[in-house]
């Protein structure tokens, strides 16, 4: 079993999230359920569409998807 087997998200999936906090490196922090998703390039209070890029056991990393970008 790898780390992503217990995660509620998978790489490539797209979500609309609200940035609730900032991580220690300045990345936006959102949650999908109770699962933490780091979103580099976002700010506190932003509502953004994201694509999951990497999934670990306790968190994922996502990138912001522009409105005109194909999924």
pLDDT of residue 68: 64
pLDDT of residue 45: 97
From residue 39, alpha-carbon distances to 7, 21, 24, 49 in Å are 17, 10, 12, 10
- CATH architecture classification, 3-64: Beta Barrel (2.40)
pLDDT of residue 1: 42
CA distance 37 to 33: 10
Residues of the chain with pLDDT under 50: 1, 71
CA distance 58 to 32: 12
Write down the domain spans for the chain.
3-64
Place of tokens 């797209």: 14
């Amino acid at each position: 079993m790898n780390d992503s087997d217990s995660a509620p998200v998978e790489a490539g999936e797209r979500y609309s999230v609200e940035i609730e906090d900032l991580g220690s490196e300045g990345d936006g922090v959102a949650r999908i359920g109770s699962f933490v998703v780091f979103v580099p390039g976002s700010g506190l209070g932003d509502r953004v569409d994201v694509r999951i890029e990497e999934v670990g056991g306790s968190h994922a990393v996502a990138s912001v998807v522009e409105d005109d970008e194909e999924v």
